[in-house]
Structure 1
Amino acid sequence: MVAADASNKYVAALRRQRTGFAFVLIISGVISVLMLTGSIYMLQVYDRVLSSGSVVTLMGLFAIVIVLYLFFGLFDLLRQRMLSRIGTRLECDLGRSGFFAQLQAKQGGNADGSDPLRHLSGIGQFLSGPTAGNLFDLPFVPVFLAVLFLVHPVLGFIVVGGAVVAGGVAWLAGFIARRWQEQRNHGAARQSEFATEALRNSEAVVAMGMQNNLAMHWQAMQLESLKTHQNAAQGSEILASFSKTFRILLQSSILTVGAVLVLREQISPGMIIASSVLSGRVLAPIDQAIGQWRAIAQTLFAHRALMGFFEDTKDQDGNIDLPKPSGRLTVTSLTKFAAGASATRQELLLQSVSFNLEPGDGLGVIGKSAAGKSILARLLVGAWQPDRGEVRLDGAGFDKWPVGAIGRHIGYLPQSVTLLPGTIGQNIARFDPHATDGDIVAAAQLANVHDLILRLPNGYATRVGGAFGLPLSGGQIQRIALARAVIFKPALIVLDEPNAHLDGAGDTALEDAITQLRAAGSTVIVMAHRPSAIAAVNKILILDQGRMTKFGDKDKILGPPPQAQKPPVRQQLSNHARQG
């Protein structure tokens, strides 16, 4: 179990619900007392009503029973609603933080497959169901045992023995469930991830006829997951059946022993029925816990996962909001290993890259495929975290900023671009509610995509992304994503293959945009294959197999740009003749 650190947001959210859980516990105590109504009523009927033959006494007792059961139903409803509200409040308190932390945890391909949103939903559903209420009955089992001991110690000891056996069965059921739970969850996560990625690439899948192959592969994963689930279920089902049978047998044993005690005149006849009901109430919460152990085990797994997840993704809320950076970039010994790799040369993705840029500088990063350009881009914007080295903007590492605050000062155009489900305006604005229409239009004009957007059916309100968005070409998506990267004119802008889907006019517009951004003081870094992408930069960095081989002024590394050659004399005379 992870230590209950106060800075863990999940722990803090649970602590805020302590009052609610305390009220639920108090209500459960009242419910437990009201559950004695049936036993006491049976005792009074057999010992008083039947011996006296008084119908008036019977009606009076029955009226009291009706009132008590009405209160029982009211308190049971109140408990269920309170638990449901607690689950809802937990999801509300942690939903945004969980989503945010999950995005943070996916950086660098080092995520462990944790899904806090699914775990939160599972805990909320558990608290809204009947099983959670039954668990709150467990602390009050000693109340029923105490009443049984008051009836007769022999009956109490029999039920204690039965409770010990039932508790042992419950522990064994939990042990069996935990044995398979983690495997089942990891298998389900892999299965879900494969299905999601297959759907995301559905066009290529259909075009290349991969549907049947992928369906067979997914089914194999499904069968493995179902096999694990079945293995976990078999033991729990056997133990649940045993527990139910044992409870019924124990109640019959109570009746038998009670009858013997009546014959010996140690208890009254009414106590036989009352004792049978009480023994059932003692074992019922344990029996229900065994029957729902898979749900309980799943909830415990989710609880532990959330504890660990929020422990590993603590943010820097204590950091102060630093001034807007000017764009001075310092990169020192930036190194990245392959996921799960050790520090060996063969597993290095990027090795000891260092350079400095001043505000207004433009850097072109060139190199062959797999040279490390995209990895460097992700590290420069904080999308991935380096294994060694650091990136500083105006002298401050990204971790010195409040979480999310640095992002407004960074623009990033990834190599593989997708738009989120929403309007074009929302995508350009980065879904920032504080972005004005002027900011959005200015960014679109800077990316030379304003006129293109106006030609769409609903202009900036056109919905894109997802299954219901308007299909756009690769070039249109890239230019809209470029507008998203340059909105607010960030201090640092990193463009990874920004002209991969652009035509000649798009290349010219990109060059103009980089020129304007540099003139405004932004530091622009361009990862490029095509020379046109680095026409507007003043510095060059060459990568080769993850290592920086050259860095400096573009003219010194690539040479001065070629001068326009004069046409031959014969061609000049021909031109003059045409002009004349």
Structure 2
Amino acid sequence: MSNGTPLRKTVYSDALKRLRGSFMAVGLFSAAVNILMLTGPMFMLQVYDRVLSSGSVPTLQALYIIVVFLFVFMGVYDFLRARVMSRAAYRLDQAVGDEAYSIWMRSALTDQPTLGRPLGDLSIVRGFLSSPAMLGLFDLPWIPLYLAVTFIVHPLLGWTTVAGLCVVLVLALLNQFSSRAYHAKAMQMDSSESFFIEQSRRTAEAVLPMGMRPGVAARWSAMHRDGLAVGQIGADRSQSFTATSKAFRLLLQSTLLGLGGYLALQQQITAGMIVAASIIAGRALAPVDQVIGQWASLVRAREANRRLKATFAAQPLKRPVVDLPPAKGYLTVQGVTKFVPGDRSHERPPILDAVSFQLEPGDALGVIGPSASGKSTLARVLVNATLADEGGVRLDGATLDQWSETALGSQIGYLPQKLELLTGTVRDNIARFDPDASDEEVIKAAKIAGVHEMILMLPDGYATELVHDSAPLSGGQLQRIGLARAVYGTPRYVVLDEPNSNLDAAGDDALSQAIMVLREAGSTVVVMAHRPSAIASVNKVMVLHSGRVAEFGDRDTVLKKTVRPRPAPQPEPTA
């Protein structure tokens, strides 16, 4: 609830709502378990007050048989509630996991920092739901039952237990207020440290040869040390309150024994009531003690749940889409403007400034320009990898968000400038991990990219596994397999960002041939290029300068304007 307005429904909120039935079942099982928890004290009460005074062995045997049955039922109910919570955690993961993964993937394309790591937060919530701490929360509402029993035994014992419970609750609140900020900050610092570790490992190829390891290691050590220090402060405070609560609970039980002994001497209660009241009072405080002992995990789960709610609520509403007919390849770019990421929108310079052009099926556009002219940003905008701040891109007259993700993906081929293939076989990567891909389509794409023979030379051909840090491929081979992935299925709209940055002469020829094959098939191709060989097969050229279109038109006409002949060297004057 925010400002009186309820938060909108999300996949996560709906998944939590569907768990209400499980929570109700666990609540009923917890009721049975907590009632049956009185079996032990009541048995001891009967043994001390009836069996020992009467000396009746049959009574003792009958009571023991009843106790056995009651404890069996208690064990079954305790098992069932743990099983229900474990299954509930599993169902939550199954209902939310795919969407959490998609959000995490899409967050890589946004200019804004993510609220958290939804997969990690989901793992924390799932682990907490199936933990003993969650069952301890279900036991808390039954504390009044045990207090009522102690009052029945003797009001003085009841009030003593209530006073002890109040002390334990105060300790729990103090624990929360004193350690909450430290636990939250430690989690944030741990997330930043994890990101830095992943980042440093990905860039190890440059970090290690240039002798950056000591400096990078020192930065990680500082982050790690600071995170541990903050977490340790919170842990120290939690541990101190946990130890204090535990010691006080034992003291309270001894106090109740002593008080019960005094009342027994005064003939106000029986000997059996002394032990029973002590056990029941200890049981009344057990859930609080358990929750305090698991306070760190409870705080982590609460923060993870809060971040998950905020993350899912921050996602844009999904627009209804209509199954549009397959694209023909008419591309229209209207006034696309993209600013440098930041909070101060009025101070951000544009990366792209009112870029507009049109292409028809069979056209191939080469986009050239100096570094930082906006070529890669334009490529990302064209394939919907990032959104334009102004203007838009239309494919066959429809904006890209009018297509479903799957339908649009089948129409687009994209080779990014920074290419990293995924763990899997060469075939899997070319087929875009489509489980329904046919071998014929995969081989066709490889042949269009001119990489079929090269793949056959690999240890296992198309079945060669591409595993991180052990892929037997060079940069040029990876780029050519990435090209095969881009042309898989002969998409109607292909964007290639610096596709020949790692290619040799043979690779350049294969790239030019692939562009020609795509054009002949009616595909629209856009190539971002620095090297002239990348635009050998295009029919149109656009020159970007500082994010603006400086020239656009037929290739030969534009190149004549932009490539000026060098003046002939003048003969040196003779003496």
TM-score, length of structure 1 as denominator length: 0.91
Q: Deviations over 1:123-158 (max 9, x none)?
A: 222233222222211122222122223223333333
Whole-angstrom distance in 2 between the partners of 1:318 and 1:137 = 45
Kindly state the Cα deviation for residue 30 of structure 1 after the two structures are TM-superposed.
0.6
Kindly state the Cα deviation for residue 5 of structure 1 after the two structures are TM-superposed.
5.4
Q: Deviations over 1:408-460 (max 9, x none)?
A: 11111011111111111100000011211111111111111111111112111
Match of 2:159 in 1: 157
Matches within 5 A, 1:46-65: 46-65=48-67
Match of 1:374 in 2: 376
- Match of 2:194, SS state, is helix
Match of 1:139 in 2: 141
Contact 1:362–1:537, Cα closer than 8 Å, also in 2: yes
Question: Residue type of the partner of 2:68?
Answer: I
Question: Residue type of the partner of 1:491?
Answer: R
Match of 1:571 in 2: none
Q: Deviations over 1:489-510 (max 9, x none)?
A: 1122110001111122222221
Match of 2:174 in 1: 172
Task: Count residues with an aligned counterpart.
Answer: 561
Whole-angstrom distance in 1 between the partners of 2:180 and 2:8 = 28
Inter-CA distance 240–560: structure 2 relative to 1 (3 Å threshold):
closer
Whole-angstrom distance in 1 between the partners of 2:344 and 2:370 = 25
Question: Residue type of the partner of 2:552?
Answer: F
Whole-angstrom distance in 1 between the partners of 2:281 and 2:238 = 23
Inter-CA distance 78–200: structure 2 relative to 1 (3 Å threshold):
same
Q: Is residue 525 from structure 1 mapped to residue 493 from structure 2 by the alignment?
A: no
Question: Residue type of the partner of 2:468?
Answer: G
Matches within 5 A, 1:232-271: 232-271=234-273
Kindly state the Cα deviation for residue 236 of structure 1 after the two structures are TM-superposed.
0.9
Matches within 5 A, 1:307-318: 307-313=309-315, 316=318, 318=320
Kindly state the Cα deviation for residue 462 of structure 1 after the two structures are TM-superposed.
1.0
Kindly state the Cα deviation for residue 475 of structure 1 after the two structures are TM-superposed.
1.1
Q: Is residue 204 from structure 1 mapped to residue 215 from structure 2 by the alignment?
A: no
Match of 1:550 in 2: 551
Whole-angstrom distance in 1 between the partners of 2:412 and 2:9 = 28
Kindly state the Cα deviation for residue 272 of structure 1 after the two structures are TM-superposed.
2.1
Whole-angstrom distance in 2 between the partners of 1:7 and 1:546 = 40
Kindly state the Cα deviation for residue 44 of structure 1 after the two structures are TM-superposed.
1.2
Inter-CA distance 521–561: structure 2 relative to 1 (3 Å threshold):
farther
Contact 1:319–1:401, Cα closer than 8 Å, also in 2: yes
Kindly state the Cα deviation for residue 102 of structure 1 after the two structures are TM-superposed.
1.0
Contact 2:136–2:290, Cα closer than 8 Å, also in 1: yes
Contact 1:315–1:403, Cα closer than 8 Å, also in 2: no
Matches within 5 A, 1:144-543: 144-313=146-315, 316=318, 318-344=320-346, 346-469=348-471, 471-543=472-544
Whole-angstrom distance in 2 between the partners of 1:253 and 1:349 = 74
Unaligned runs of 5+ in 1: 563-580
Question: Residue type of the partner of 1:174?
Answer: Q
Whole-angstrom distance in 2 between the partners of 1:310 and 1:381 = 24
Unaligned runs of 5+ in 2: 564-575
Contact 1:338–1:347, Cα closer than 8 Å, also in 2: yes
Whole-angstrom distance in 1 between the partners of 2:388 and 2:465 = 36
Larger mean CA deviation between 294-303 and 196-205 belongs to: 196-205
Kindly state the Cα deviation for residue 40 of structure 1 after the two structures are TM-superposed.
0.9
Whole-angstrom distance in 1 between the partners of 2:413 and 2:13 = 34
Match of 2:573 in 1: none
Whole-angstrom distance in 2 between the partners of 1:126 and 1:259 = 41
Match of 1:111 in 2: 113
- Match of 1:137, SS state, is helix
CA RMSD of aligned residues (A): 2.2
Matches within 5 A, 1:63-102: 63-102=65-104
Kindly state the Cα deviation for residue 367 of structure 1 after the two structures are TM-superposed.
1.2
Match of 1:573 in 2: none
- Match of 2:345, SS state, is coil
Match of 2:22 in 1: 20
Whole-angstrom distance in 1 between the partners of 2:320 and 2:253 = 59
Inter-CA distance 193–74: structure 2 relative to 1 (3 Å threshold):
same
Whole-angstrom distance in 2 between the partners of 1:392 and 1:150 = 77
- Match of 1:136, SS state, is helix
Contact 1:391–1:398, Cα closer than 8 Å, also in 2: yes
Larger mean CA deviation between 471-480 and 515-524 belongs to: 515-524
Question: Residue type of the partner of 2:198?
Answer: T
Kindly state the Cα deviation for residue 8 of structure 1 after the two structures are TM-superposed.
1.0
Contact 1:45–1:58, Cα closer than 8 Å, also in 2: yes
Kindly state the Cα deviation for residue 113 of structure 1 after the two structures are TM-superposed.
5.9
TM-score, length of structure 2 as denominator length: 0.92
Question: Residue type of the partner of 2:417?
Answer: Q
Inter-CA distance 403–346: structure 2 relative to 1 (3 Å threshold):
closer
Contact 2:8–2:313, Cα closer than 8 Å, also in 1: no
